[in-house]
Structure 1
Amino acid sequence: MSTEFKLPSIGEGVESADVAELFVKEGDVLEPGQNICELETEKAVVELPCPHGGRVAKVHVSAGETVEVGQLLLTIEESTAGETGGDSSAPAGSAEETSASEPAEAPATESAPAAETESQAATATASGEVVEFKIPNIGEGVESADVAEVLVSVGDTIEAEQNVLELETEKAVVELPCPHAGTIEKIHVSAGDTVSVGQAVLSIATAGGTGKAKPASAPSGESKSFPPEKSPAKEPKRESAPAERQAASARTPELVSRQDETNGQPPVPAAPSTRRLARQLGVNLREVNGSGPGGRITHDDVQAYVRNRLQNDNVPAVSRGGAPTGLAAGSLAPPPLPDFSKYGEVAREKLNKIARTSAENLTVSWNVIPHVTQHDRADITDIEAARKRFGQGVGKNGPKVTMTAVAIKALATCLQAFPKFNSSLDPETNELVLKKFYNIGCAVDTPNGLVVPVVKDVDRKSILDVAAEINELAAKARDRKLSIDSMQGATCTVTNLGGIGGVAFTPIVNYPEVCILGMARGQKELQLVDGEVRERLMLPLSLSYDHRVINGADAARFMVTLCNMLSDPFTLLSAI
């Protein structure tokens, strides 16, 4: 009996991840909950546990592959009495030997369509049944993740709740436990693969059973969150043959509005985030050739389609409102790079998931949002003196109050006074979404790239609370321990380069937000104050904003209000 372990949902909006490392190989014996791989997503690296126990029959992914939520990672067979958890090569009779009488967790029935259940059912064995472990829902909106590492091998005997995979989502790295005990018969994924929610990752042979194979469900409480997955045999056929693919790429694709996406035809296989991207770029998914399993359309397919369209016709994508959107709104696909090796030695370095996602998001933001940047300076002489005095009084027992914390608190107050700056533009309805909560993202530079954890409900917290939370989030960001929730829900963002240097810069708005505040290094300057020349500490501020929502006069008023708060401690205290 075998069980398939598929990549579960590992975070909101996360549909795929790269397999950074596999912890298991075919023949290894898994314990439930054992980590099987390390996954790298756009934002973090996670270890993926497998809830199934057993021997790894097959590993379906390898290090470096991109896996999607629901993609098969491992096939796991039921372990025999002489097999041990962790390493199938352990000698029989050792202290770690798995007893034949050890109870195995009965597989749960997954709430999936009957067609999927029938297509994914494994054959039974005399010793019990083979269950498929599929990627469960691991976060709201997260549909896929990368397999950073497979922690088990084929032949491993695993215990219930043993970690079998390490998954990396866009926001965090998590270990995935398997609720089943048994022997891993087959591993359907490998490190580097991108797996999707509901995808079989392991086939596990469990002890006992009725002899009828069943697909494994997600851990308790999560199976209901699985998005319905069509059996590959049921999915709409896509162009896949090389000749057909070449002919399709030779045709000039046509960008159309989303109103033609459905007219009684079967739905195009694509994740919700891919559909979101297509809507933002004005792409009809029925015009896109999917490169994923069963013709599933990925982010890369949509972007390649747009690049092809721009290169061939140089015609902007058209949204429902008729205005250029996405990559067509102000830029063209770049031409191919020249052969730099003709001029000297070169080397190539693959971008990690965080860098790739950041590049994609920045491209969308820059091309969708018409940016304007308002520069100003705040006299922070008195605030800085008060901040230092406070730090001396608190000592090592309190949080370090930085200018970033002060600026975030002042920014939240300004957002309350200027509601448009705390909104998002809905292009589908031509409405502003005015948010009544104030969550400020704080950009953090890490060795793996830029991440933006979010300080929630800033308006309800003191400067001390904000400072403590910033310090905690920054530490987690550098250690790649941020949770999915801590990276979501921002209404505005602050980025501070003052610790490095610079006079001013133009930060890019983090779509779908409408503004971002940049802070440069404070400079001591001679200023005329009350008829006297005095040395003052001036802080350069740069506010980039979406000109579709915010006009220049409002931006200037916003900056004047913010600078006044930062220049006078009493004004700031009265406002907060």
Structure 2
Amino acid sequence: MLKFKFADIGEGLTEGVVGEINVKVGDKIKDGQTMFSVETDKVNAEIPSPVDGTITKINMKVGDTIFVGDVVIEIDDGTVDSASPSSELPSAAQSAEEEKAAGVVGAVPISNTVIAARSLPTTNNSQTINSKVLATPVARRMMSDLKVDLTKIQGTGPNGRIKKSDIQNASQHSAGPVAAGPTMMMPNITMSNIKTTGQVNRLPMSPIRKAIAKQMTLSKTVIPETTLIKNVDVTKLIELRSQLKQQAEKQGIKLTFMPFFIKACAIALQEFAMLNSSYDQQTEEVVYKQYYNIGMAVDTPRGLMVPVIKGADQLHILQIAHAVNDLAERTRDGKLKMDEMSDGTFTITNFGSVGVEIATPVINYPEAAILGVGTIEKKPTVDKENNIVIKSILPLSLSIDHRLIDGADGGRFLMRLNELLESPALLLI
């Protein structure tokens, strides 16, 4: 009898919502056959069976939130009682070499650093204990920032998992030195603070909505950001796109403006390294990344998601356009792979698609900057000969991490984007 446990499918995920159950008690099932689907804060995943057998028990229903380690399905595979090996936590004695966790989303590489919290430097056996401690991804990041010892914290989450609030409480009551920062100023709300005077509906947040809430709160708490705004004349860019659209269509590619924005950012980031960096609070070092992975925010019915175009500096416009179309479509369909939403170094969000001109986009932590693209509108402008002419104007909003980037550098970055977009032939060189 196999007791199948819901496993971490990568990126330190700890929970998911059951979307569909494809089997029922008594069904014969084959190794690799889909048993159910689950929606996490990153992706929708189909969970296959790791064995041949018969379904004897289902411990969940559609809409349930399940946690890593929960026994969700029992399968009679002709063996004695056992737990699904793919969902067991790695022992402390295991090496750090990656193992294959079969039967979740194909074969996903995992290691003890994915499921278990990071071990802190130690001179005794607490490192072994630390490797077994469960913690959410946000808690692990805060642990590193605030220098909190996980072995001294009692987790209040499911199965004793350490949550963000546990880290905050520990850091506030710790007698030792703690890294000062705005993270410690977050209120620890332990009960509902919503007072109502009329009829209301209360609905649980989806995993994606929870992830967005945590990520935005983390960014606004940790990063002192400021936003710079620049209007760009994209009249020539519109003409160039029109010229290239026919060639793109012959290759089956829909050519939008986004590939041009991505290419311009990839070029400018190579000249302004601080906008392609991150701040390591633990070591107080700036991490300058020598690769250019551009994330693009995609509006989906389930919430905002950010697939990443990797190595954007190595791609030409039509290659970027193909990647944009493919990633956007699979993002909306919930078919992205985990690694297609990771390792971004800079993000672009296009709120112009819904008619907005200017905004103050929130930085995608731990990145250092995000570019907001507004709607293109025809406006009267004054040319070099003082004539009033009609131009197509694009407003850009650049939010920067002021710990790393001065306003002057952010302004120079915007001026470089202005140059590239006003003379778009430069993007083709």
Question: TM-score when scaled to structure 2?
Answer: 0.85
Larger deviation, residues 43-52 vs 388-397: 388-397
Structure 2 matches for 1:410-449, cutoff 5 A?
410-449=264-303
Could you tell me how far apart the structure 2 residues matched to 1:420 and 1:321 are?
27
Task: Give the secondary structure class of the aligned counterpart of 2:325.
Answer: helix
1:375 aligns with 2:240: no
Task: Give the secondary structure class of the aligned counterpart of 2:326.
Answer: helix
| Counterpart position of 1:303 | 165
| Counterpart position of 2:59 | 60
Task: Give the secondary structure class of the aligned counterpart of 2:354.
Answer: coil
Structure 2 matches for 1:451-530, cutoff 5 A?
451-530=305-384
2:84 pairs, out of 116, 127, 134, with 134
Q: How far does residue 54 in structure 1 lie from its aligned partner after superposition?
A: 1.9
| Counterpart position of 2:140 | 275
Could you tell me how far apart the structure 2 residues matched to 1:458 and 1:490 are?
11
Q: How far does residue 497 in structure 1 lie from its aligned partner after superposition?
A: 1.1
Contact 1:69 / 1:135 at 8 angstroms: preserved in 2?
Answer: no
Aligned amino acid, residue 423 of structure 2: D
How many percent of aligned residue pairs carry the same amino acid? 35
Could you tell me how far apart the structure 1 residues matched to 2:25 and 2:113 are?
30
Change (3 A) 1:218 1:492: closer
Could you tell me how far apart the structure 2 residues matched to 1:549 and 1:316 are?
30
Deviations 1:502-525 (A, max 9, x none): 221011111111000000111211
Q: How far does residue 62 in structure 1 lie from its aligned partner after superposition?
A: 3.9
Question: What is the number of equivalent residue pairs in this alignment?
Answer: 409
Could you tell me how far apart the structure 1 residues matched to 2:224 and 2:280 are?
15
Could you tell me how far apart the structure 2 residues matched to 1:131 and 1:198 are?
18
Deviations 1:45-94 (A, max 9, x none): 2221112222233333444443333432222224xxxxxxxxxxxxxxxx
Task: Give the secondary structure class of the aligned counterpart of 2:323.
Answer: helix
Question: TM-score when scaled to structure 1?
Answer: 0.64
Contact 2:228 / 2:398 at 8 angstroms: preserved in 1?
Answer: yes
Structure 2 matches for 1:114-193, cutoff 5 A?
129-130=79-80, 132=82, 134=84, 136=86
Could you tell me how far apart the structure 2 residues matched to 1:389 and 1:226 are?
49
Higher helix share: 2
Q: How far does residue 444 in structure 1 lie from its aligned partner after superposition?
A: 0.3
Could you tell me how far apart the structure 2 residues matched to 1:418 and 1:229 are?
32
Could you tell me how far apart the structure 1 residues matched to 2:114 and 2:352 are?
48
Aligned amino acid, residue 423 of structure 1: S
Higher relative contact order (CA 8 A, sep 6+): 1
| Counterpart position of 1:69 | 68
1:324 aligns with 2:176: no
Could you tell me how far apart the structure 2 residues matched to 1:401 and 1:318 are?
58
Aligned amino acid, residue 350 of structure 1: P
2:211 pairs, out of 353, 357, 372, with 357
Contact 1:260 / 1:284 at 8 angstroms: preserved in 2?
Answer: no
Structure 2 matches for 1:201-350, cutoff 5 A?
219=102, 225=110, 227=112, 264-265=125-126, 266-267=129-130, 269-271=133-135, 273=137, 274-280=139-145, 283-292=148-157, 296-299=160-163, 302-303=164-165, 306=168, 322-326=179-183, 328-329=184-185, 331-333=186-188, 336-340=192-196, 342=197, 344-350=198-204
Task: Give the secondary structure class of the aligned counterpart of 2:241.
Answer: helix
User: Considering only aligned residues, what root-mean-square deviation do their CA atoms show, in Å?
Assistant: 3.3
Can you give the 5+ residue segments of structure 2 that lack an aligned partner in the other structure? Answer: 91-99
1:409 pairs, out of 263, 269, 272, with 263
| Counterpart position of 1:14 | 13
Change (3 A) 1:473 1:418: same
Aligned amino acid, residue 323 of structure 1: A
Q: How far does residue 442 in structure 1 lie from its aligned partner after superposition?
A: 0.6
Task: Give the secondary structure class of the aligned counterpart of 1:433.
Answer: strand
Change (3 A) 1:339 1:379: same
Could you tell me how far apart the structure 2 residues matched to 1:17 and 1:390 are?
43
| Counterpart position of 1:545 | 400
Contact 1:70 / 1:134 at 8 angstroms: preserved in 2?
Answer: no
Could you tell me how far apart the structure 1 residues matched to 2:267 and 2:359 are?
23
Contact 1:439 / 1:456 at 8 angstroms: preserved in 2?
Answer: yes
Change (3 A) 1:284 1:64: farther
